[in-house]
């Protein structure tokens, strides 16, 4: 069984590899990546029977991997967060393991993989294709969100929001009209709830709508500077690792 481990914490990746080897001597770790970009590149050039996939990677939420490439193997998600379980089973997931991973749950996940492989030995990829089609039809995103300003609370249509901005422990939503509101959520949660065709996470602080992007210009080396409307007080720089993804998002 050829296994790919996707985990951005090296010690956890090594520990998982060791535990898998102890559970099944036939398991071979054929690859180990720590980011969305590296995983997409690996999958474009290689193949595996099973992938262990962390949700939070160094360059974003791992679900975006499935938007960039057709994943042809089943996936066992590993994460410290339980709120992504439903999203996980909308892609290739056969198990969802919470960290720290319990040995019995890891064994059960491997057993489930073997059972599914045995049942669908002839055409496992077609099974994944079937799952994918049904997932696309049922996926929904939020259309409104609760915001507050002072003592007042209101619901705002997502289409009226230019971008979300993290500032220390707080998160704010800035409307297309330039008004700033407190948002009781997190960027990680919003990444899951917002339509990724309309919103993109630029960096650790900003999730922006397509309508808010005025233009972008070269910054230093391979990084770019993004100008938004309404314009925030600070410069917004996208790392070189995320520039390609950003351009692909703009061109969807």
Q: Which CATH number fits domain 2-138: 2.40.37.10, 3.30.70.980, 3.40.50.800, 3.40.50.2300?
A: 3.40.50.2300
Q: Determine the pLDDT at residue 139.
A: 56
% of the chain exceeding 90 in pLDDT: 58
Q: 203: how many CB neighbours lie within 10 A of its CB?
A: 16
Q: Which two tokens stand for residue 32?
A: 């180990």
Stronger pLDDT, 220 or 62, i.e. the higher one: 62
pLDDT by residue (tens digit) across 70-79? 888 999 999 9
Mean pLDDT score, 151-160: 94
How far apart are the two ends of the chain, measured CA to CA in Å? 36
* CATH class of the domain at 144-250: mainly beta
Please check the confidence at residue 219 and state whether its pLDDT lies above 70: yes
Contact between residue 33 and residue 65 where contact means Cβ atoms under 8 Å apart: no
Predicted confidence band at 120 (pLDDT cuts at 50, 70, 90)? Answer: low
Provide mean pLDDT across the span 210-224: 91
* Phi/psi at 180 (5° precision): -115, 130
> What is the tens place of the pLDDT at every residue in 121-155?
545 555 555 555 544 444 578 899 999 998 999 99
Residue 19 is encoded by which pair of tokens?
């535990």
In what side-by-side order are the strands of the sheet with 2-6? 28-33, 2-6, 50-54, 75-79, 93-98
Burial of 170 (0-12, 13-18, 19+ CB in 10 A): exposed
Q: What pLDDT is stored for residue 126 in this prediction?
A: 57
For the chain, the structural domain boundaries read: 2-138, 144-250
């Amino acid at each position: 069984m050829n296994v790919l481990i996707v985990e951005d914490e090296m010690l956890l990746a090594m520990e998982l590899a060791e535990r898998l080897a102890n559970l099944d001597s036939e398991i071979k770790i054929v690859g180990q990546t720590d980011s969305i970009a590296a995983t997409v590149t690996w999958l474009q050039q290689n193949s595996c029977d099973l992938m262990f996939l962390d949700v939070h990677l160094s360059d974003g939420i791992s679900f975006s991997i499935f938007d960039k490439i057709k994943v042809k193997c089943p996936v066992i998600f590993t994460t410290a967060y339980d709120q992504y379980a439903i999203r996980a089973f909308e892609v290739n997931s056969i198990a969802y393991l919470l960290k720290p991973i319990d040995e019995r749950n890891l064994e059960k996940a491997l057993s489930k993989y073997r059972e599914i492989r045995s049942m669908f030995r002839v055409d496992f990829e077609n099974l994944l294709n079937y799952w994918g089609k049904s997932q696309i039809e049922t996926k929904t995103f939020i259309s409104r969100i609760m915001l507050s300003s002072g003592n007042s609370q209101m619901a705002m249509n997502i289409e009226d929001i230019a971008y979300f901005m993290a500032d220390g422990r707080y998160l704010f939503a800035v409307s297309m009209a330039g008004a700033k509101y407190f948002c009781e959520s997190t960027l990680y949660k919003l990444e899951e709830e917002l339509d990724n065709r309309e919103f993109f996470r630029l960096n650790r602080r900003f999730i922006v709508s397509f309508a808010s992007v005025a233009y972008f210009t070269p910054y230093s080396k391979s990084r770019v500077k993004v100008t938004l409307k309404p314009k925030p007080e600070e410069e917004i720089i996208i790392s070189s690792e995320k520039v390609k993804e950003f351009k692909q998002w703009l061109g969807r």
